[in-house]
Structures are given as C-alpha cells and as structure tokens.
Structure 1
Amino acid sequence: MRLRVEQAHGVFGALAAELGTAAVLVGDAVPMRNRCDWSGLEPATPLAVVRPVDAAGVSAAVRACRDAGLPFVPQGGLTGLCGGATPRAGWVAISMERMVGIEEIDAASSTMTVKAGTPLETIQRAAEEAGLYFPLDLGSRGSCAIGGNLSTNAGGNRVIRYGMARDLVLGLEVVLPDGTVLNSLNKLLKNNAGYDLKHLFIGSEGTLGIITRVVLRLYPKPLSTMSALCALPDYDAVLAFLAEARRGLGPLLSAFEVMWPDYWELVTERCGVRAPIGGGHGAYVLVEAQGTDEAADQPRFEGWLEGVLERGILADAAVAQSLAQTQAFWGLRDACADFVGVLGPHISYDVGLATGKLGAFTARCKAGLAAAIPGCESVYYGHIGDGNLHLVAWVPGLPLAEQPKHAMDTVVYGTIREMGGSISAEHGIGTLKKPWLPYARSEVEIALMRVLKSALDPAGLLNPGKVVG
C-alpha cells in the first residue's frame, strides 16, 4: 500500500542521511526544471528530487521508493518531447544531473565510458580532443544527457551513416525497478554470450530500468567535411539524388536532409535565413559527406556533384567552400528551432515511413490537415535518408491550449497508419503518443511489451503510465 504524502517525508529524511543532504530536495527546494520536460505537458511538482552520484545511490533511491510504494521517474537533461520524464503529483524524480563525467576513453578499443547524466556535447568534445569521433548529434546537444538519449534511442542528423543511438552503445550499467544493479559495461564489438540485455533498456524511455553508466562506440575523427545545398524539381528527383549519393559517395555520405518548399519559404522569408540558392523549386536537399583525406575528398565530392548536375537530376546547387559555409547551410535546416518565435504556438510531429512513400505522405497529410481543420497550415522537412520526417502544424492566431491537437493527430497518425509507417521515428512515445501506439504496433507487439514491463516492474512503480504501462 502506498504511503500518504506526510508519511513519505520520513523516507526522504532517511534517504538524505544515507546519500547526503544535497542529494535530496523536497518542498520548495524542488526546482522548476524537474517538474516537466520539453513536451509542453502540465508541470507537476514531485514529492522530492533525488540526485545520486552513482549507481549505488540510484539503487538506494529506488529501494526507498519501492518500500514506500512511491512511483518514481528517471530524469536526465529533460529535453524529451513526449512526456517520458515528466512526473506526476505524488511521484519522486530520480535525477542524473550529478552523475556526470567521462570515466575512460579507451583508444585501443575505440570506446568511451561515461556517466548517464553527461551532456551529449561534453561527450562529443571529449572524443574530439582524443582524436576520435562520437557521431550522435541533436539540436539539444548542449542540454540533453546521454542516458536520456539512449532511453529514447535518439536519432539525429547522421543516422544514415552511423545508425541510431542503440548502434553506438556496447555496454550499460542499469538499476532495475527493484534496485538491483545490472553491470553489463561490455566493451566488445562481438559478444554473443546469451541475450544482449542492453537493448531491453535502450528505447524503453525509463520504464524498464534506469541507465547509470554507458560504454559508447567511437569512430575515427573525420578530417574533411563536404556539403552542398541543392534544388530539385520534385520528390522523384530527390529519390534519384539519394540513390546517386549512396552509389557515388558510399561510406562518405553522412547526412541527407530534405526540405519541402513550404519549409524553405518559411525559413528564408519569415525566419530571415539567407539562402545560397534561389527559391521556387519542388524540393531542397542538404547533402553532407565526411572523409579522412582532405586533399582528395573535396575534389571527389565536387566531381560527383558535377556528374549529377550533368545528368539533369538537380535544378541548382551550391557547394560549401569552407566550414563556415557548411555551418550556414545547416543553419537553413536547423532554423526549425526558431519556429516558436516566428510561428507562435504550433504542434510538432516526428514520424517514420519508407523513404519512397514520403512524397505521397506529405501531399496527403498537408491536404488532409487543411480539409479537416479550417485555416490549418503545415510545413515538412526531415532526415529522409533514413525515412524520418518532421512536420509542424498550426492554426495561426490560436494559443497553444486552443490548437486543435487531437484533430491534427487524427490526420497525421491516421495517414501514417494507412501508409504503414511509425508514429515516432526518434522522439519516443511517453504519454503524448501513447493513445496512438496501436497505429504503429500490432496487438501482439504491445502485449509482449506489457509482459516485459510486468516482468521487470511487477509493482508498476517505475515511470508508470508511460509507453505501455
């Protein structure tokens, strides 16, 4: 039986005595940041925020919550967009904010061992200083924590070459819902000794265990980066260009970002981002390649692009001649971060679909939103090389609380279901997308997810109500 709130405070006192007073924040000391993630859900003040410094401290917090019957939610950088880290009243937040740092960089095995609260950008810089490269990259790199990146199986800009977050992990340390510490800090690329347990926790959004330490896979540091911003007549040309990029650039291809005309017009006309090529085209692609031979890579890239131009696939193209120009090209793609200030309240979506179907999806979805919701506008862009599309929908002039989100969801996710896609390509399910999970997963799949949740968390105290709980 769960304790009443006043009884729970005795639990926190005992926990503070065990972990230190700085580790347990209660009442007015609970920071605003721990009350909600970036999902926009209504904030809720947890009974306490527990801030351990190691797996033993996380285990102690979990056991205390379990013994008291208190639900608890793990928190990292709190940059999630689906509510996976948002608490509810009467819960305890177990924050990784003090579990930061690089424990080891093993150049021989090309691995890095880090604590779960370490910001992604810190990991990227540490790898670079060691002459290596960690390819996971997100717009929230300075704020997001690696534990959260793994719990949502983050994607980002370079999935086409390096894969999702789960492809960059060799080992984990995890605290299970009963407080047991599972130490599986494997460094081996090849290890088929039984089940690969780390994949239970990567992408589970903190519902099956709390990730505390990670062994990451590193790559050689790229010595050259080439990029081009290209205009194309339509989506069929985009598919032809993608095939040319895969064939002509091979393993050098590191990003293939597509922007539809509505997105392009928004960022160049309303966001004020300067473009190196003109508008009026059917699609725009930012293609990037990374190599290890500065002298040879740029000429090879330019020669490949010239061949594509000669074959009539592209309508126009601009090639970056410096790192600053590459960053400027990416500024067009990353301008979506400014949409709040430009558009006002809006609803963002992250969906997945077979690459060949994305052109048809955008046309159907845009028409469907406009027909179902008077005045609704939408724009489309994404990591098309890996089948991940982002879209933003809004009714101008309406505050966020009055945006017809359910009607938008019905159109977007209904179209995704009809075309055999995923309602979440890289952001997770949390609570925001939970009602729509059957649109992307079968009854058998969801039932098995619930079996796993029940087996690992029979008391239902770890992040309850999220994903399938």
Structure 2
Amino acid sequence: MVEIEAPALVSDELRDALMSVLGKSGVVSDPAVVAAQSGDWSEATKVAPAWVLFPRTPQQVADVLALCSHHHQKIVIQGGLTGLAGGATPTHGEVALSLAKLNQIEDIDTVGGTATVQAGVILEELQTRVEAQDWYFPLDLGARGSCQVGGNAATNAGGNRVIRYGTMRELVQGIEVALPSGKLLTMMNRVTKNTTGIDLKHLFIGAEGTLGVITRLVLKLSPKPTAANTALCALPSFEAATRLVRDMRRALPGLSAFEVMWADFMEAAQEIGNLRPAFATGSPVYALVETLGAHQEDDREQLERFLGEALEAGTVCDVIVAQSLEDSRSLWSYRETIGEMLGQLRPHAAFDVGVPMAAMASFVESVRASLRARFPDQRHLFFGHIGDGNLHVLSGPHVSADSLHMVEQVVYEAVRKVGGSISAEHGIGVIKREFLHLSRGAGEIELMRGLKAMLDPVGILNAARVFA
C-alpha cells in the first residue's frame, strides 16, 4: 500500500523557488507520478514524495540542492529505482529528485576509449551506443534496461563481469558532483594516469548519494569483444568450484563471468522459469562460465579443451558448451530467472553479501541449516558471482516483518563471524543500516558521519540512509 505524502507539507515559497529554476514541468505533484516514484525494488515501505523534481542540467541539480539546503528540505535522490536496499525509497516529508532527464550521452571517444555521459543514462542504452562504435562498457546487471549509470556509480555496482573488469569504481575515470552547498564540483578526468593529489571521486562512488549528487561521468571503455562462449558445468562440490575458477583464471585470460548456483537455486529456476533440467542427473553445485575474446571458434575450442580436462580430473561432473547464441541465452536463462523469483517469493529477504572464498562452503551450509530449522516452509536459495566472493541469498515468502528481521539477523551475524561484508554491491540504504556495524568499525562510521556533516551540514541528502 503506497502512502501519499501531502504536498502542503512543503512550503509554497520553496515550491515557487524550485519552479523558477526547473520550470513548472520540472516540479511535479501529480498523484500518478508521485506514486510511481514511491519506492525502489526493495521491501522498504513505499511512501510517495510530496513532489518529484526533474532537473535537465547539472547546474539545475546544484541550484535545487542550494534551495533545499536553505529551506532545510530533505531530498531523496532517485535513478532507475532498481535498488534493493531502499536507498531511493522516500520517507515522510521528503521530495524526490529524479535524474531521469539527465540522459545525454555527450561524447564517445573512439580513440581514447571513454564515454562522457550524464548520470541518468540507462545502462543498456550506453552499452548499445558504445558497441555500435566497436567499444564495450562491461558493467552488466539484470536491471540493465532500467538502471542508470549515476546510480551504478553511487552504489559501486558490480554485476556479472567483475572477475575480469572490476566494479564500477574501476570503470569511472572522471566525475561531476552537485554538492548540497550548490557548488558543482567538476572532476571530469579523461586520462588513466593522474597523480595530482587526493582522488576525490572515490568519496562519492559508493556513497549512495549521501555526500553529493553525481551528475556526469567519464567512463572507461574496453575494446568490443567479437566472440563470446558460454558453458554450464555440473560440479560435485563447492570446493570443486573454487578449483575450477582458480584454474580457469590461469588458463583462460578471456574469462569474464563465473556464476555459481547451488542445487536449491537451480530447482527453483526450473520451476519458476518453466525451464527444462539442464542435465539428466542433478548435482550439488553448478557454475555458469563465460569467456569474451576475438576468435569465436578458437576460443570455443580452448574452452572445450579445458573443460574436457576438468571432466577427466573429476572437477566437473558434466558440462554443456553453447554452440550458438541461442544456446548461450538458454544457459544464461537459469541464472536470470532471479527477477521472476523475486516477484514470486515476496515478501522476501534478499541478500548480497561478501564472503571470503575459503569460508563460503561452510557459510552456505550453516546459514541454510539455520534458516531451514526456523522457517521450514520457505525457500532459501544460494547463488552468486563467486569469482569475486559475492554471494546472494534469497529467502521467502515470509508472512511478517518479524520473520524477515530474524532472517536478516541469521545471515548478517554469520557474515560477521567469517569477516565478510553485509553488502557486496547493492549498498546499505535503509534496509541494512542497523547492521552496518557488523562490517564497519566504530572509527570508520564516525569518519563517515564527519564527512557527511562537512559536505551536507543541513543533512538534506538521502538522510538516514547508510548510517543514522
């Protein structure tokens, strides 16, 4: 149920001032629009904002922040609303600042291999545009058709290909940020080597909009791969998966994705996605692997040769190597049923945690046992980008908020015990805020609060996100 916040709570003086900056079309209180901006993909309670602001230029973003700081008006920053931590879901009394109109791809440097873009550019549009120029932007997420690159940077998104290309932090060369003071801080660096003091862009990448609003970015591109090969492997154990990914990274320099799915996830994928079993006999663990390169047949032969040796060694029980683009899509469909799972298992608890590889098997075993003992009627699914230690856990459907909170306590306490991270790529937002101390020390959190107080002294930006 969406709670509608009354527009009268925001002063007429501020509304008039915002309209003078954005025009009447840039300050929207239409019930249908504010309801559509009432929350992200998370389970956070949806609250429609009083107004939705649609700036069209970076300077307008800065001017809006200056006005809201002056009037002590809190703002929630919104991109594509695909987040799973509640960071873009409004709270009572907030106005929403949408970056949807800052959607220009300003330049694609086909010599230097960079793209200069506004923060509201949709990830998939950027991918398509640069590939038409024989370049490649490797960040890839299931939400690629909706998420925005500014939000990807604000949460330091990872996705499927971190094992080869790194997170969004490694893909951002330059950045422009609007500060709560109304200043536009332009750091649009386009060169790889730049040792000229503190690299300030890293203050804002991963900060979830708490320190400033990312308005433009210079993104690092890679040469466009002309060959892609995919294989699905059935494995006897998670320990075999760790050997496989180690050996693949050594033998296959084109390895770009290594997705592990436990048997419970594969069973749910087949049922919810109406997919046929990939193998005649089930296995405890499965690995979906992808290589990107320049020679389709040679790369496939190299992958097949490697996997043949893995079969002989017993590291792999069975394997399917895609022989066509259609085959590849079919293999990826098991992993990409997660969107349908999230819909069918609501209300759910969804986790993206960082777990050291050495502790991963015992972590999954102990968490699964704890959840099954407490919630025998729910599904508890395990999968992730194991090449970078990023494990996803999905538990649901749950009938009460108390149940969801109990699941969070089980998972996050287990993460603390193995020295992991409560958020690998989705961010903290509001949903994980109370558990932040399990991953970050008191000194770190105090310094974060100090940076927030320095850059946003009034506390208007994404208040009560990440830390209170």
Which category describes the TM-score, using the shorter chain as reference length? over 0.9
Task: Give the corresponding residue for 1:412.
Answer: 411
How far apart are 1:27 and its partner, in Å? 5.6
Q: Are the structure 2 counterparts of residues 345 and 46 from structure 1 closer, same or farther at C-alpha, using a change threshold of 3 Å?
A: closer
**Aligned-partner Cα distance in 1 for 2:128–2:393:** 30
- The residue aligned with 1:293 is 295
Q: Residue deviations 1:425-447, cap 9 Å, x none?
A: 10000010000001111111111
Q: Aligned-pair distance for 1:28?
A: 3.5
Query: Which residue is 1:256 aligned to?
Result: 258
- Check 1:76–1:343 CA distance in 2 against 1; reply closer, same or farther (3 A cut): closer
The one of 353, 356, 366 aligned to 1:354: 356
Q: What code does the residue aligned with 1:277 have? A: F
Which residue of structure 1 aligns with residue 381 of structure 2? 379
Q: Structure 1 pair 66/103, CA: closer, same or farther in 2 (3 Å)?
A: same
- Of 86-95 and 222-231, deviating more is 86-95
The CA deviation at 1:106 is 0.4
Tell me whether 1:191 sits opposite 2:194 in the alignment.
yes
Q: For residue 454 of structure 2, what is the aligned residue in structure 1?
A: 455
Contact residue 261 and residue 382 of structure 2 kept, 8 A: yes
Pick from 157, 161, 173 the counterpart of residue 158 of structure 1: 161
Residue matched to 1:439: 438
Deviation at 1:341, TM superposition (A): 4.9
Letter in 1 for 2:38: R
Instruction: Determine which of 336, 339, 350 is the counterpart of 1:337.
Output: 339
- How far apart are 1:132 and its partner, in Å? 0.5
Q: Determine whether 1:178 maps to 2:181.
A: yes
Moved more, 8-17 or 140-149: 8-17
Look up the match of 2:101: 98
Contact 2:260–2:288, Cα closer than 8 Å, also in 1: yes
Q: Which digits, 9 at most, give the CA deviation of each residue in 1:397-420, with x for residues without a partner? A: x54x45711110111001111111
Deviation at 1:373, TM superposition (A): 3.8
Confirm or deny: 8 A CA contact 1:114 1:214 kept in the other structure. Answer: yes
SS of 2:334's equivalent in the other structure is helix
Matched to 1:426, the amino acid is E
| SS in structure 1 of the partner of residue 252 of structure 2 | helix
**224, 229, 240: which one aligns with 1:226:** 229
Q: 2:171·2:219 contact (CA, 8 Å) conserved in 1?
A: yes
CA contact (8 A) 1:352 1:424 kept: yes
Specify the code of the residue in structure 2 equivalent to 1:305: L
- For structure 1, the residue ranges without an aligned partner over 5 or more in a row are none
Change (3 A) 1:344 1:85: closer
Alignment of 1:12-31 (within 5 A): 12-26=15-29, 28=31, 30-31=33-34
Structure 1 partner of 2:3: none
Aligned pairs, how many?
Answer: 462
CA distance in 2, matches of 1:199, 1:5: 38
User: Which letter does structure 2 place at the counterpart of 1:357?
Assistant: A
Distance 2:319 2:153 in 1: 36
Are residue 466 (structure 1) and residue 468 (structure 2) matched?
A: no
> Taking structure 1 as the reference length, what is the TM-score of the superposition?
0.95
Normalised to the residue count of structure 2, the TM-score between the two structures is 0.95
The Cα shift of 1:217 comes to 0.3
How far apart, CA to CA, are the structure 2 residues paired with 1:385 and 1:265?
A: 22
Does structure 2 retain, via aligned residues, the 8 Å contact 1:73–1:94?
yes
Distance change >3 Å, CA 109–CA 371, structure 1 → 2: same
- Contact preservation (8 Å) 1:372, 1:407: no
Q: Which residue of 1 aligns with 2:420?
A: 421
The whole-number CA distance in structure 2 between the counterparts of 1:345 and 1:277 is 31
- Aligned equivalents of 1:91 and 1:243: distance in 2? 48
Alpha-carbon distance, 1:376 to partner: 4.1
CA contact (8 A) 1:82 1:431 kept: yes
Q: Percent same amino acid at aligned positions? A: 44
The residue identity in structure 2 corresponding to 1:282 is P
> Which has the larger displacement, 292-301 or 339-348?
339-348
Contact (CA 8 Å) 2:116, 2:217: kept in 1 or not?
A: yes
Residues 182-331 of structure 1 aligned to structure 2 (within 5 Å): 182-250=185-253, 252-331=254-333
1:147-166, Cα deviation, whole Å (9 max, x unpaired) = 11110111110000000011
Matched position secondary structure for 1:35? coil
Assess, with a 3 A threshold, how the Cα gap between structure 1 residues 326 and 459 changes in structure 2: closer, same or farther: same
Specify whether residues 203 and 310 from structure 1 end up closer, same or farther in structure 2 by C-alpha distance, changes over 3 A only.
Answer: same
Q: Encode CA deviations 1:328-371: one digit per residue, 9 max, x unaligned.
A: 11101111111145445322111111122111111000111122
Q: Distance in 2 between matches of 1:88 and 1:41?
A: 10
Per the alignment, residue 70 of structure 1 pairs with 73
1:314 alignment partner AA: V
Instruction: Name 1:118's counterpart in structure 2.
Output: 121
Task: Give the deviation of 1:5 after TM superposition.
Answer: 4.7
CA gap of 1:291–1:153, structure 2 versus 1, over 3 A, is same
8 Å CA contact 1:377–1:394 kept in 2: the answer is yes
1:25-58 Cα offsets, whole Å, 9 max, x none, are: 1364643221211112222222221111111110
Counterpart selection for 2:141 from 126, 138, 141: 138
- The Cα offsets for residues 243-268 of structure 1, whole Å up to 9 and x where unpaired, read as 11111102x00000001011112212
| Gapped regions of structure 2 (runs ≥ 5) | 1-6
Cα distance in 1 between the residues matched to 2:315 and 2:20: 68
Q: Distance in 2 between matches of 1:29 and 1:113?
A: 33
Contact 1:82 1:430 in 2 (8 A): yes
- In the alignment, is the contact (CA less than 8 A) between 1:369 and 1:377 conserved in 2? no
Which stretch shifts more, 403-412 or 268-277? 268-277
CA distance in 2, matches of 1:323, 1:86: 38
1:394 and 1:403 in contact (8 A); partners too: no
